[in-house]
Chain A
Amino acid sequence: MSLLQVEQVTKQFGGLTAVEEVSFAVEEGEILGLMGANGAGKTTLFAMIAGNLAPSSGRILLAGQRIDGRSAAAVNRLGIARAFQIVRPFSGMSVKENVAAACLYGRRRLKRQAEAERVALEILGRLGLGEVAGRGAATLTLAQRKRLEIARALGTAPRLLLLDEVLAGLTAREVEAALDLLVALKREEGLTLIVIEHVMQALMRLSDRILVLHHGAMLAVGRPKEIADNREVAEVYFGKGQSDA
């Protein structure tokens, strides 16, 4: 059974259809890249999978269990974590407290704070944030805050991690480091990922498969090579994308 199944999912805001009849599945241990121009419906799709928005119609299943319509908190406890495109740290807390909070709730639901802090430090060390663990979250650089966003999501012990443009705004070296990290997470922890990314090469390198959204509908899905060679995708996406860049 696939870890995540999205079946015929549609989301309408008033008269506007943001996501239309999207269906796909993600296998355990896979990295799925999500591609599409601004307004293609990627973030809306994430919001529905993570439980921040309820679909207008369609079903979403995690390991065979329906999750659409449940609250974000409930979905997270079942094993889906989300890192936001615009980072949302708990600014008034330390970096360690940010991640420890996730360890106390989420799928881990640790009961003791000392235990949560120990796990948090492990995760932070792994993401190269060990040295700033005691600092206030508001004092971090953008690159560090993006990593904190991932660290906090990992704190909830997810089975599926949704990453929304976590590479945006990073330097080339930081992107390299982040990519290595994501691949390592997948390999060593068996984590499954869905990644939204505008840095094209990065997405191509990282993903096992790529799904392309266009005006809310699915345009194509396949291996990175297939997507790169897809004429339709090249027309509506790359043509425009290259001139934008």
Chain B
Amino acid sequence: MEIILSGQLVLATLVLGSVYALVAMGLNLIYGTMRLLNVAHGEILMIGAYVAYWAFTLLQIGPLISLFGAMALTGGLGWAVYRFLVRGLLAGSGEIVQRIEANSLLIFFGLSIILQNLISLAFTANERAYPYLDQVIRFGGISIGADRLVILGISLTVSLIAILFFRYSMTGLAMRALIEQREAAALVGIERDRVSLLVFILGFALAGLAGALISMTEQISPFSGFPFTIAAFVVIILGGLGNLYGGLLGAFLLAGIEVYGVALTSSAYRSILVYGVFIAVLLWRPQGLLGGKRIS
């Protein structure tokens, strides 16, 4: 009981959950509108992290500024991936949708391998980290790094802005229409191509932003993005594929499972825990805990 009420763990859950929410939102957007599972999402995040790392190490620019650069670069990548890979994929024979979806996964997997090794080629495979806002803040018996508080603040703010954007802006509404009715949306004059492109840019930029934030507290390496892909995937399955609000809930749920699971056992079991949840949700409730969009 003590452990459940520990303020330290609650706060850790909130921080991790807010990061997961941000990471998952980008993945969910692309899945929801185009039914494409971008397994290279974690690598995009890593690119954002590297931008922040180099900006700090070479130019002494803090991540709170360089995150804009990270978003610009990853957003540009989103444009390129849509323009050169996805369009070609969608233009191909659309006869058996499911087979194309399985193939699209292979394409993103190839992209993930390419990006991992490009980064490794450019910057070596060494783990890197930099000190930023690492003073510890204490209040009421809880101690937390200032960097984590900043991450919590920014992640929550951006997630809320994104949700408001989907609820109230014209473009956001068009994206939601695509998520809810892919066929009908084309009929009511939403330009699928333009909206899809935007979705890719936005989804990638969100990953880049998350990466820049994560670089403040985590060691980064060319291969440390993939676990975030898996976590984001668990989050969006928990919340319902294509369901952005459910994703928020799923993020905090997974973060809670992870934080408390590790606290109750040992950090050696973290991967088993995350993959266990991942398998369980895929097998038992592929439509997500909140229902939401169908999976097939």
Interface positions of A (Cβ within 8 A of B): 91, 138
User: Which residues of B are found within 8 Å of A138, using beta-carbon distances?
Assistant: 95
Some 3 contacts from A to B, beta carbons below 8 A apart, are A91-B95, A91-B96, A138-B95
User: Which residues of B are found within 8 Å of A91, using beta-carbon distances?
Assistant: 95-96
Q: Give the nearest-CB partner of B93 in chain A.
A: A138
Complex CA distance for A91 and B94, rounded to whole angstroms: 12
Q: Which of B78-98 contact A (CB under 8 A)?
A: 95-96
The 3 closest A-B pairs by CB, nearest first: A91-B95, A91-B96, A138-B95
Q: Give the nearest-CB partner of A92 in chain B.
A: B96
Q: Give the nearest-CB partner of A138 in chain B.
A: B95
User: Which residues of A are found within 8 Å of B96, using beta-carbon distances?
Assistant: 91
CB distance from A194 to the nearest CB of B (A): 27
CB distance from A145 to the nearest CB of B (A): 13
Contact with A along B89-121 (1 / 0, CB 8 A): 000000110000000000000000000000000
Complex CA distance for A91 and B100, rounded to whole angstroms: 14
CB distance from B157 to the nearest CB of A (A): 38
Complex CA distance for A69 and B96, rounded to whole angstroms: 29
CB distance from B37 to the nearest CB of A (A): 24
Complex CA distance for A91 and B95, rounded to whole angstroms: 9
Q: Give the nearest-CB partner of B95 in chain A.
A: A91
CB distance from B102 to the nearest CB of A (A): 14
Complex CA distance for A140 and B96, rounded to whole angstroms: 16
Complex CA distance for A91 and B96, rounded to whole angstroms: 9
Complex CA distance for A232 and B180, rounded to whole angstroms: 39
CB distance from A87 to the nearest CB of B (A): 13
CB distance from B270 to the nearest CB of A (A): 38
Complex CA distance for A138 and B95, rounded to whole angstroms: 9
CB distance from B294 to the nearest CB of A (A): 13
CB distance from A16 to the nearest CB of B (A): 15
Complex CA distance for A49 and B296, rounded to whole angstroms: 23
CB distance from A9 to the nearest CB of B (A): 25
CB distance from B148 to the nearest CB of A (A): 43
Q: Give the nearest-CB partner of B96 in chain A.
A: A91
Complex CA distance for A138 and B93, rounded to whole angstroms: 12
CB distance from B243 to the nearest CB of A (A): 18
User: Which residues of A are found within 8 Å of B95, using beta-carbon distances?
Assistant: 91, 138
CB distance from B146 to the nearest CB of A (A): 49
Q: Give the nearest-CB partner of A91 in chain B.
A: B95
CB distance from B287 to the nearest CB of A (A): 13
Complex CA distance for A56 and B96, rounded to whole angstroms: 32
Complex CA distance for A69 and B79, rounded to whole angstroms: 50
Complex CA distance for A91 and B98, rounded to whole angstroms: 13
CB distance from B47 to the nearest CB of A (A): 38
CB distance from B98 to the nearest CB of A (A): 12
Complex CA distance for A91 and B97, rounded to whole angstroms: 13
Complex CA distance for A204 and B95, rounded to whole angstroms: 36
CB distance from B168 to the nearest CB of A (A): 31
Complex CA distance for A138 and B99, rounded to whole angstroms: 15
Complex CA distance for A138 and B96, rounded to whole angstroms: 11
CB distance from B196 to the nearest CB of A (A): 26
CB distance from B103 to the nearest CB of A (A): 14
CB distance from A89 to the nearest CB of B (A): 11
Complex CA distance for A58 and B96, rounded to whole angstroms: 36
Complex CA distance for A100 and B96, rounded to whole angstroms: 22
CB distance from B203 to the nearest CB of A (A): 32
CB distance from A148 to the nearest CB of B (A): 16
Contact with A along B190-223 (1 / 0, CB 8 A): 0000000000000000000000000000000000
CB distance from A40 to the nearest CB of B (A): 23
CB distance from A36 to the nearest CB of B (A): 25
CB distance from A186 to the nearest CB of B (A): 34
